């Protein structure tokens, strides 16, 4: 077994682990963000807003574990990626953190004072806390395809020359819309599952719009990536067993290079197909009142979308537009073999425990949240 866990395979395994954790975060915390983002549109009275909020109230904190796990895994397994991403996307990440801080404050404070203006203010904070991370995460992914302006000197010191506003380019904003519509769709299917009456009906209407926006923008983004921009290609020999050194390779850009992995392995086209089919299937299933299947279908859309981006970028993590050779890949941005090995066995122990515990929590919290339930438990709910 130890031969199978050589440096090359461990790097591949941790690339897959990062993808799984991103999907876990987008699926689980994604519907929290989606519900918050559509709160003003699905809930018009205070009781309706409390129904929507309490549909995610018992589980949102646990869902953020996936975000913490993902950040921790990147920090430990790919420290160069972590350092470069948080340097290059510093203000963007700061906005995300502020939004993620505002959200729990909104949950806990909105019901402290029985005043419509007080609650409306915190409802606005919840809305912002849902929209901002969803858009910023998409903008960040979009900029990876375009390349990020950073480089390293001979002592491996990082230099980032871009600015926050440069991140808000047309393609990145388009991917931000893809991300927002995808997570709103995820939130709408969850809200349809957990509520009834007007809230569930409006969630279904939002789902229809979000599905249409996602399908259109996802297809446009795919065409743009395939034919409207140059992709990155490693042009030198890569030793997957060598110590990490981003400057030890040469990289060039070529038209249509982001399609190279799909051309080499056509089975990868299953990922964008799953993304589109999942979105359309979720819409049909919501309309048919098959809410559990609709949520599963929407979750497949999330997984397919992230897998599509990962398969396109592989083996790149963060291409550099300033110095092509400094682009970060899974072969030259990872921790040592020993570190990846220790983390691998720790993950085998703790990740199943997290999945089991999360599954148990959702089983305990199953069932619908209704206005009558919220009114009769006003003292113990948000």
Q: Do the bridges between strand 150-152 and strand 230-234 make them parallel or antiparallel, or are there none, so unpaired? A: unpaired
Looking at the domain assignment, is residue 101 inside a domain? Answer: yes
Q: Which residues of 110-127 are buried (b: 16+ CB within 10 A; e: fewer)?
A: bbeeeeeeebeebbebbb
Owner of token pair 């850009």: 253
Alpha carbon distance 78, 163 (integer Å): 23
Q: Report the pLDDT averaged over residues 277-290.
A: 94
Q: For position 164, what pLDDT does the model report?
A: 80
Residues 6+ apart with CB under 8 A from 165: none
Looking at the domain assignment, is residue 382 inside a domain? Answer: no
Across all residues in the chain, what is the average pLDDT? 91
Structure tokens at 81: 């990626």
Length in residues, the chain: 382
Question: Is the sign of the CA dihedral 11, 309, 185, 92 positive or negative?
Answer: positive
Looking at the domain assignment, is residue 2 inside a domain? Answer: no
pLDDT band at 192 (very low <50, low <70, confident <90, very high): very high
| Number of other CB atoms surrounding residue 177 within 10 Å | 21
Q: For position 2, what pLDDT does the model report?
A: 65
pLDDT band at 66 (very low <50, low <70, confident <90, very high): confident
Q: For position 374, what pLDDT does the model report?
A: 79
What domain count does the chain have? 1
pLDDT in tens, 25-42: 999 888 999 999 999 999
**Residue from 73, 16, 25 nearest 179 by CA:** 25
pLDDT in tens, 80-133: 999 999 888 888 889 988 988 888 888 888 888 888 899 999 999 999 999 999
pLDDT in tens, 212-231: 999 999 999 999 999 889 99
The strand pairing partners of 79, in sequence order, are none
> What pTM value is reported for the model?
0.93
243 secondary structure, DSSP code: P
- In terms of DSSP H, where are the helices of 228-327? 260-264, 270-287, 291-313
Looking at the domain assignment, is residue 1 inside a domain? Answer: no
> Residue 301 belongs to what domain range?
7-376
Gyration radius from the chain CA atoms = 21
Looking at the domain assignment, is residue 381 inside a domain? Answer: no
Q: For position 1, what pLDDT does the model report?
A: 61
Structure tokens at 4: 């199978």
DSSP 296-320: HHHHHHHHHHHHHHHHHHTTEEE-B
**Residue from 317, 313, 279 nearest 295 by CA:** 279
Alpha carbon distance 108, 31 (integer Å): 19
pLDDT in tens, 325-371: 999 999 999 999 999 999 999 999 988 988 898 889 888 888 888 88
Q: For position 286, what pLDDT does the model report?
A: 93
Looking at the domain assignment, is residue 232 inside a domain? Answer: yes
pLDDT at 379 exceeding the cut of 70: no
Residue percentage of the chain with pLDDT more than 90: 65
pLDDT in tens, 136-181: 999 999 999 999 999 998 888 888 888 888 889 999 999 999 999 9
pLDDT at 10 exceeding the cut of 90: yes
Looking at the domain assignment, is residue 167 inside a domain? Answer: yes
**Residue from 150, 126, 147, 160 nearest 54 by CA:** 126
Structure tokens at 191: 């809200």
pLDDT band at 253 (very low <50, low <70, confident <90, very high): very high
Q: For position 169, what pLDDT does the model report?
A: 94
Burial (0-12, 13-18, 19+ Cβ within 10 Å), 379:
exposed
């Amino acid at each position: 077994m130890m031969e199978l866990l050589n440096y090359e395979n461990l790097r591949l395994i941790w690339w897959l682990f990062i993808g799984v954790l991103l999907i876990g975060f987008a699926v689980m915390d994604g519907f929290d963000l989606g519900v918050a983002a559509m709160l003003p549109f699905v809930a018009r009275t205070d009781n309706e807003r409390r129904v929507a909020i309490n549909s995610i109230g018992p589980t949102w904190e646990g869902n953020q574990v996936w975000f913490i796990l993902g950040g921790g895994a990147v920090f430990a397994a790919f420290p160069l990626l972590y350092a470069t991403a948080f340097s290059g996307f510093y203000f963007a990440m700061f906005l995300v953190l502020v939004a993620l801080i505002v959200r729990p404050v909104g949950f806990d404070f909105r019901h402290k004072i029985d005043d419509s203006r007080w609650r409306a203010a915190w409802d606005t904070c919840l809305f912002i806390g849902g929209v901002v991370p969803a858009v910023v995460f998409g903008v960040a992914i979009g900029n990876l395809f375009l390349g990020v302006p950073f480089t390293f000197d001979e002592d491996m010191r990082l230099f980032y020359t871009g600015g926050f506003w440069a991140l808000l380019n047309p393609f990145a904003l388009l991917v931000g819309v893809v991300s927002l519509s995808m997570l709103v769709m995820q939130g709408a299917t969850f809200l349809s599952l957990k509520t009834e009456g007007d809230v569930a009906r409006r969630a279904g209407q939002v789902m229809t719009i979000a599905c249409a926006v996602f399908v259109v923008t996802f297809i446009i983004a795919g065409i743009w990536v395939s034919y409207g921009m140059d992709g990155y290609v490693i042009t030198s020999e890569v030793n997957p067993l060598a110590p990490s050194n981003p400057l030890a390779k040469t990289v060039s850009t070529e038209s249509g290079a982001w399609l190279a992995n799909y051309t080499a392995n056509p089975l990868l086209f299953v990922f964008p197909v799953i993304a589109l089919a999942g979105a359309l299937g979720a819409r049909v299933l919501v309309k048919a009142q098959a809410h559990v299947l609709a949520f599963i279908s929407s979750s497949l859309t999330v997984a397919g979308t992230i897998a599509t981006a990962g398969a396109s970028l592989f083996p790149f993590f963060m291409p550099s537009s300033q110095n092509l050779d400094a682009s970060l890949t899974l072969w030259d941005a990872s921790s040592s073999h020993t570190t990846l090995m220790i983390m691998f066995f720790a993950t085998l122990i703790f990740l199943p425990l997290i999945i089991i515990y999360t599954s148990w929590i959702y089983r305990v919290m199953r069932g619908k949240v209704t206005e009558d339930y919220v009114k009769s438990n006003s003292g113990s709910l948000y």
